[in-house]
Structure 1
Amino acid sequence: MQKPVVRPQEIYLDNNATTPVLACAAEAVQHTMQQCFGNPSSSHSTGIKAKVELETTRQLARRLIGAGSGDIVFTSGATEGIQSSIFSALLHARRSGKTGPAFTLLYGATEHKAVPQSLEHWDQVLQLGATIKAIPVDQHGLLDFDFIRAELPNTLLICTMAANNETGVKQDLAALQQLIRGVAPAVLWMVDCVQALGKMPLQLAQLSIDYAPFSGHKLYAPKGIGFLYVRQGAPYQPLLAGGGQESGLRSGTENLPGIAALKAIFQQLVIKEGSVFQSEQQLWVYRERLLSALRSVFPELVLNSDSPYIVPTTINFSVPGFASKDIMDLFDAAGIRVSSGSACSSKVPTSFVLNAMGLPLWRSQGAIRLSFGPAMTEHDCQQACQAILALKTVVNSCCLVLSDASSTELQPVTGLVQLKHEDLCSYLLVSADTSEVIIVDAVLPLASRIAHLIQGHSFKVRAILDTHLHKDHPSARPELLTILADLVEPAQTDVLGWPASVLSLHMGAYQLERVATPGHSPEAISILVREHEQQKFAFVGDFILPGGTGRLDLQGGDILAFQHSLRWLNQQLEPQTLLLSSHDYAQRFFTRWDLMMQEQPVLLQVLNTEATPHHWLSELQRQTQWLQQQAGHFCGVVEVCDSDATAVIDKEQIRALIQQYPQLEIWDVREPHEQAAGALSVYLPDVVCKEVPLSVLVQQVAAEQQHKAQALLLVCRSGNRSLLAAKVLNRAGFELVFNLKGGVALLA
C-alpha cells in the first residue's frame, strides 16, 4: 500500500479534555498583559480600568448562566470551584452538628473523579464521618430518581452534573430540582457545569442549585481560569483568605488576563449574529457527519450514548474486537486526536462511567470519546471527516475489519505474530509460501482480531492448538473453528486441537512437534517449532513463564511431573530457542533456557536434585505471585525507565547518533495499522526506517540472533513502547539499543 508522503495534519477532536484558545481570547490575554495590566484592587486609573474589565466579565457570566442575585467568584478552574463548594457545604454541616455515618453525601456514579475524591478528602479533613454514596445510573447514564428519593432525608450534600465529560449525557436539572426540593428543601446541591456552557441552555436563577463550578479551558479560554456560581444565601466559606479580593470570597490577586479571555468568549456567546459559536442545530449536523465517517471506517460501531440524552458535541463509541488503545493509536498516527475517556491502568483501561451504566465490558474497554467544540466550523468538520474516512484503506489493508481489499493492498504477514490481551498471549505462525497459518493459545478477546487477519489474507488454517486446558480463561478454539470453518482443514483432533494420529505438523518451512510436559496440568504439551531444520521456538503454555513458572497448586498440578517435564525439556531444547508462554505477566515477551535458569535459580535445584521437590514448591509459588503482581497491560503507560535503553536521545541527536554509528538501524515498533496511517519516513525522510511492530518483535529477535552488536534506534508513538522493546532486546543480548524520547509525538 502507498505510504503517505506528507505529514498528517492534526485534527483535534478531544475538546472535552481541553480546547485551543480562540484567537479573540488570545488577543484579549495579550492586550490585558501589556495594556490593561493593572491590579483591580488598586485605586489609580490603571487599577480602575482593570476593575472595570473584571466586573464587566462578571456581569457577562451572570447573564450567560442566568445567575440572578447569586455570586460569581473567579477561580483557577473547576477543581477549585468543586473544592470550595464541597468544603463550604461540609463545614456548614459540621457547624450544624450533623456528623456521623447516619448522614450521607451523594454524588452521581458517573461524576468526574474530582467530585468523589473531594468529598472523601473534606469529609476526612473536617472529621465529618458521613457516609458517601454513589447515585446509580441507568443504561442511558441518567440518575436513579428512586435511589435519590430514598436517600435525600439524611443527605447533607448532593452532587450532580449538567453534562458528562465522557458520554455527553445531560441530566434533567428541572426534574432533579422538583425531586430534591420536594423531599429535602434544605439540602445543599452542587451541579458540575464544566461541560455545559455553550452546549446547553442554563438559567440557574430558575433553579435552586447552590453551587455550580465552570472551567475556562473547556470553552476556548486558557488553562488556570474559571468561575463558581454560588446561590444567594448558600453557605460559603472561602478556601483562600488574605487580601479580601472577590468580595472576600476568594483572596488573591485575580487572574486578569484569564478573566479577559473569558470576557472575549462570553461576548461571542452573547451575540446573535457573527458569533464563532454554532447553534445547537448546527452542532447536531456536525455530529451526524462525523458519525457517518466513523461508521464508514467501522461498520460495526456501537454508540455508548446517544440522542436524546446527550449534548451534540460528544460521540462515545466502541467497536467489537477493538480495545480503545487500538483505535487511539490508529487515529493518533493519522493525526486525529481522540481519547479513551479514561486513564490507563495496569490492565486494559476501562471506563468507570460506562461500567456504572451497566454496559458490557468490551464496550467499556473499547470506548473512544470523540469530542468537538461549539466553535467548530464547516471547514473543521469537513477536514475531520476526510481524515477519518482516509483510515478506511488502512483498517482494510491491515485486516482490522473485513473488506474486499485486493491482496496487493494487504500488509504482509509472515512468521511469528504475538498478540496480547492484558497478560494473555496468543500466537499466529504464518507460512507466506503456502498461505497457511497455525494458531496457538488463542483467547476470546482476540478471536475477532485473529479471525479478521486470517480471513482478510485468506490463509488456510492448518491447525488451532492449545498448549493446555486453560484454567483462568476459556480457549477461543471453538469460536475460531466456527468463524473460520471455510478455511480450516477438517480433521479429527484431540482435546488440545492436535490432529489425531499425527506426530508432527508440517507447514511450509516449519515443522511442529509436540512434547508432553505435564506439571501445571496433566494434559499440557509444549510445541517445538523448527524452521529449515533449525529449532526456533517452543510454545510452552503455562509450564514456563518469562520470569517464573505456571501454578502447581491448582487442580491437576503435579510437582513431580513438573520436575520430570523440566528435565525432559532440558534435553530437547537448543540454546537459541525462544520459549513462548501463554501468560506474560512481566511484559518480557519470551524467555530462553539460559535466561530462565539465570532468573530462577530454584529451577537449577529442580534439575539437579533427586530430593522431594516440596521444599522448592513454595519458592516457585512465591515467584508466580510476584509476577502476577507485576501484571501490566501494554496500554501506553508501561513499567519502563530510561535505563532500559543504552541511551535515551531526543530528535536533535539523531544525526549525531548516525554519525557515531553509520550502520545504525531505526526500528519503528508501532503496530502495522499505525505505520500505515502515519509512516515514520514522513518525519525522518532522509533515513531508512525498518518496521518492526511489537507483535513481531520475537520473530525479529529470532532472525537477528547473529547481529546483536548492531546499533538500533527504537521509535514508537510516545517513547514508552520503544523503551519496552529496548528492555526486551537488552534481555536478549542486544548491546546497543537507543530510544527516541517522546517518539513520533515529538517528531510531529
Structure 2
Amino acid sequence: MTTEIYLDSNATSVVLPAALAAAIDAMAQRYGNPSSTHATGLKARAILDEARAGAVRLLGVGAGRLMFNSGATEGIQTSVLSALVSLRERRDAGAAIGTLLVYGATEHKAVPESLAHWNRLLGLNLTLYKLPVDQDGVHDLAALRALAPQAAMVCTMAANNETGVVSDLDGIAAVLADTGSAALWMVDCVQALGKLQLDLASTRIDYAPFSGHKLYAPKGVGMLYVRAGAPFTPLIMGGGQEGGQRSGTENMAGIAAFGAVLSALERGDTFRTSGELYGFRARLADSLRAALPGVVFNNPFDKALPTTLNFSVPGLSSRELMDVFDAAEVRVSAGSACSSAKATPSYVLDAMGLPLWRSAGAIRMSFGPLADEATIAAACARIERCGAALRASCLIPSARTAVPHDGLLQLGVEGACSWMVLDAASRSCIVIDPLPDHVARIEAYVRCQNYQVQAIVSTLPNAGRAMLIEALGRHFNRQLEVDQYGWPQNAGGVTLDNGARAAAIALGAQVLACVHCGAGDELRAYLLGTPQSQSLPAAAVRFAFSARPAWQALHAVSSAQTLLCPTRDELNQFCTIAEPVATLAADAQLNSNALSEFLQAHPDARLVDVREAYEFAATVAPLAALTALAAADGRAAISVPLSRLAEHASAWLQAEQTPLVFFCRSGNRSMKAAQCLRRLGYQQAYSLSGGLALAA
C-alpha cells in the first residue's frame, strides 16, 4: 500500500479509473483504425466521434474547429504557426499587420519559444514583447491597451501553471475590442479545464490548446480549439486525419481516456465542487502556516484557482523544502515541472516583482478536482511532520534547544560556502567566511543549539561579518577586540611545522591557527587540527580554510592528507587536496539491480546516506527504502549528511579503504559525494544511481 500523497497535479495527474478502463477497452476490444470503413474501424470511429462531441458541448465550441493532438505544446505550435503564416500572407498582400508578438510575462516557456521559432523561420522579423503583470500575477491591461494597436498576435493564459492566478480574459477581450485591434489571440487553457467555466465560441479567443494529462487523462493526448473563421495551417500533413487538420493515426487509447474524463466533467458527478476545493486549499494553507513559521504565499488566493498554493519560507531554499516533503512522501514541485530540476529562481515570480528569496525558494503545491477528504487530512498531518523535522534540525525557529553537534559543518554547496567548527562539550563554535545568504541559517543554528560563537573570521579583510554579529545578539561577545579579518587580538599561539609562530584559538581539543599568506598580507588561511603540546605539526592539520590563491602557501604547514576547504565552491567540490587524484569513473555508478551483487561481493561495504537530518526526521517509511538498498542482507546504513562530508572524508582517508556506497533521494547528492571521495584518492567510493526514488 502506497504512503505517497501526490500534490503536484499542475504538473501531471493520476489517470481516472474510468479513463484507464476506456483506454484498455480501446486497445483490447475496439482497436481498429478509425479511418477504416469496416466494422472494426467503425467501432473505433465511434470512440473518436463520441469524445469529440462531448468536448464540443463541454467547451462551447459552436462552429469552431476542435481537433485531437498530442497535447498543449503541439497545440501552441499549431496556433502560432497558423497565426504567423496568416500574418505573412497578409503582409505580402500589402496589408498592415502590426509589429509586435505580445505574450504574458508569466506564460509557459513553450509560448515565447514557439513565437521566436516560427517568427524566425517564416522571416517575419516581428518584435517579441513581454506583457508585464502586477504583483498578483495579473496582466497589466493598461500596458496592453498601449500595445494593442501594434500587436499582430497576443498570447495569454486562462490560469497560470505555477501560481494558479486566473487571467482577466474578459478584460483582455475588452481592451482588444476598444482599441480596434486585429491581433490574433491565443489563450493557453491547460490549467482551466475542469476548473473554470469555458464557452469558447462566445469569446474573441482564436486559439485554445488543452492537455489531457493535467486532468486525469494519460500523457500524449490533447485538443486544440480554433475559432470559426480564424486562420489555420496544419502543423502535420500526411494522412488527412482529423479532417485534414492534424495528420497521423489518432492516439485512440488516449482519446478514449480523455473522452471518459470529459464525459465525467459533463455529467458533474465525479469531481469536487469549487466550494469543496476552496475548503481543501484553506486547510492546507492553515497547516503550512502552523508548521512553517513565516511562510509567505506567493499567489493571491482570491485571484487564483482553488487547487494551487505557491509559497516560500524565509531561510529555506526550494531544494531543502523539496527534500523534506519528499522524505515525508508528499510530492510537490519547485515551480514549473518543466524547470524544477534547475536551480534557478521562478521567472513567473520574478515577473511579479517578488523578492529573490521568494522566487528562488518557491514551492508549488497543487491538487486536482478529484482530491478527497482523506488525502487532504493526511497531507496536513505530513506538513506538520515536515515542520517538526525542520525545527528539530534548527532550520526554522524552535522553542526547544536541540542536541548540539560536534565537528565541521559546511553551509551552501552551490558555488559558495560558509563553514562552522562546532564543539558540543563547550557549546561553542567558530564561524569561517560567513556569507550574507547564510546569516539567517547560522543565526538559527547557533540559537537553536545554544552555542557561544568564539570568533567570526574571514580569509579576506572586512568580509561582511557585521550582519551576522548583529543577528547573533548575546551568542557573540561584541566587546571582543578583533582585527579587520575578525581574528581576536587576545588569541593564544602554536608553533607550525615550518617553525613559524601562529596565533591560535582553542576549541575543545582542537585549535584554529591563523596563517598569513599572499602578497601584502592580503589573504588569510586557517588551519584546524589537534595540537601536540604547543605545536601544530603538519600531520595534525586536518583542514585548511582559504581562498584558492592561498593554497600554494600552505604546503609547508600542512600534509598531503590535509583537506583544503574553499571559501568559494564554484566547482561544487566540497573539499579537495593539493593534487586531486581522479574524477568519477563509469564503474562508480551502481543501479539498484547491480547493488545486490555488489554488496554480496563486498561484505565489508558500507551504505552511506547523505541526506540531511531533517529528511530522516520527516521520513515516513524508512525501513522499506533501506531494505531495498541492503538487498535483504540486513546491512544498516550510516548517516553522513552532505553538509558534513568534509569531516567524515578526513577520517575515511586516514583509515583502511572499504567500499562506500553513497545514496540519497535522487542520486544527485550521492554522485557528488562519490566524486569528492574519488578526487581525494578514495577509489572505493560509489553512488547509487537514481537514489531512493528508483531503489524503493
TM-score normalised per structure 2? 0.92
Counterpart position of 1:612: none
Three-state SS of the structure 1 residue aligned to 2:214 is coil
Which of 600, 610, 634 matches 1:659? 600
Among 214, 217, 235, which residue is 1:218 paired with? Answer: 214
Q: 1:8 Cα deviation (Å)?
A: 7.8
* 1:401 aligned counterpart, secondary structure: coil
> What is the match of residue 575 of structure 1?
560
The worse-fitting range, judged by mean Cα deviation, of 445-454 and 643-652 is: 643-652
Which of 182, 191, 194 is matched with 2:187 structurally? 191
Deviation at 1:75, TM superposition (A): 0.8
- Checking the alignment, whether the CA contact within 8 Å between 1:38 and 1:47 is kept in structure 2 is yes
**What pairs up with 1:334-373 in 2 under 5 angstroms?**
334-342=328-336, 348-373=343-368
Give the distance between the partners of 2:322 and 2:2, measured in 1 at CA: 15
Within the candidate set 489, 501, 514, 2:477 is matched to 489
Matches within 5 A, 1:20-99: 20-97=14-91
Indicate which of 113, 136, 140 corresponds to 1:140: 136
2:685 to 737, 742, 747: 737
Change (3 A) 1:68 1:51: same
C-alpha distance in 2, partners of 1:8/1:20? 14
Aligned twin of 1:610: none
Question: Counterparts of 1:431 and 1:675 in 2: how far apart (Å)?
Answer: 23
Deviation at 1:88, TM superposition (A): 0.3
* Match in the other structure for 2:667: 719
Provide the rounded CA distance (Å) in 2 between the counterparts of 1:431 and 1:383: 39
* 8 Å Cα contact 1:324/1:340 also seen in 2: yes
Alignment of 1:108-257 (within 5 A): 108-257=104-253
The residue type equivalent to 1:649 in the other structure is L
Matches of 2:558 and 2:97, distance apart in 1 = 63
Structure 1 CA distance for aligned equivalents of residues 75 and 521 of structure 2:
61
**Residue pairs, 1:277-292, within 5 angstroms:** 277-292=271-286
1:381 matched to 2:373? The reply is no
Is this contact kept in 2: 1:666–1:713, CA < 8 A? yes
CA distance in 2, matches of 1:666, 1:351: 35
Deviations 1:609-655 (A, max 9, x none): xxxxxxxxxxxxxxxxxxxxxxxxxxxxxxx9xx4464322223333
Q: 2:637 aligns with which of 679, 689, 693?
A: 689
Q: CA deviation at 1:542?
A: 5.0
SS at match of 2:483: coil
Which residue number corresponds to residue 577 of structure 2?
Answer: 592
1:554 alignment counterpart: none
The answer on 1:536 being equivalent to 2:536 is no
Separation in structure 1 between the aligned mates of residue 572 and residue 79 of structure 2, nearest angstrom: 44
1:208-607 matches, within 5 Å, as 208-272=204-268, 275-342=269-336, 348-405=343-400, 407=402, 410=403, 413-420=405-412, 422-469=414-461, 475=464, 477-490=465-478, 491-502=480-491, 503-519=503-519, 522-533=521-532, 534-541=540-547, 543-544=549-550, 566-567=552-553, 569-595=554-580
CA distance in 1, matches of 2:3, 2:635: 22
1:526-556 deviation line (CA, Å, top 9, x unaligned): 11112254211111135347xxxxxxxxxxx
CA distance in 1, matches of 2:25, 2:512: 73
The whole-number CA distance in structure 1 between the counterparts of 2:383 and 2:681 is 41
Higher deviation after alignment, 362-371 or 535-544: 535-544
In structure 2, relative to structure 1, the CA distance for the partners of 1:405 and 1:13 (3 Å cut) is same
Give the unaligned 5+ runs of structure 2.
Answer: 492-502, 533-539, 628-633
The one-character-per-residue Cα deviations of 1:325-349 (angstroms, maximum 9, x if unpaired) are 1100111111111111146699842
The share of aligned pairs that are identical, in percent, is 43
Instruction: Note the C-alpha offset of 1:101.
Output: 11
CA distance in 1, matches of 2:384, 2:686: 35
The alpha carbon displacement at 1:102 in A equals: 6.5
Deviations 1:162-201 (A, max 9, x none): 0000111111111110111221342210000000011111
Q: Matches of 1:510 and 1:529 in 2, distance apart?
A: 7
Amino acid at match of 1:441: D
Separation in 2, partners of 1:142, 1:419: 37
Q: Secondary structure, in 3 states, of the residue corresponding to 1:536?
A: strand
User: Given that residues 212 and 230 in structure 1 are in contact (C-alpha distance below 8 angstroms), is that contact kept between their aligned partners in structure 2?
Assistant: yes
CA distance in 1, matches of 2:50, 2:461: 71
What's the RMSD between the two structures over aligned residues? 2.1
Following TM superposition, by how much is the alpha carbon of 1:676 offset from its aligned partner in structure 2, in angstroms?
2.5
Deviations 1:221-250 (CA, angstroms, capped at 9, x unpaired):
001100011000000011122222212111
Partner of 2:100: 104
Deviation digits for residues 380-439 of structure 1, max 9, x if unmatched? 1112112212222211111111112354xx4x5210011115311100100112111111
Cα distance in 2, alignment partners of residues 727 and 417 from structure 1: 19
> Is 2:674 the counterpart of 1:701?
no
Q: What's the CA shift for 1:479?
A: 2.0
Give the TM-score normalised by structure 1: 0.86
Structure 1 residue runs without a partner (length 5+): 1-6, 546-565, 600-639
- Tell me, in whole angstroms, the C-alpha distance in 2 between the residues paired with 1:373 and 1:233: 34
Q: Deviations over 1:687-737 (max 9, x none)?
A: 110111111111011112222521111111111211111111011111211
In 1, the alpha carbon distance for the partners of 2:73 and 2:37 equals: 31
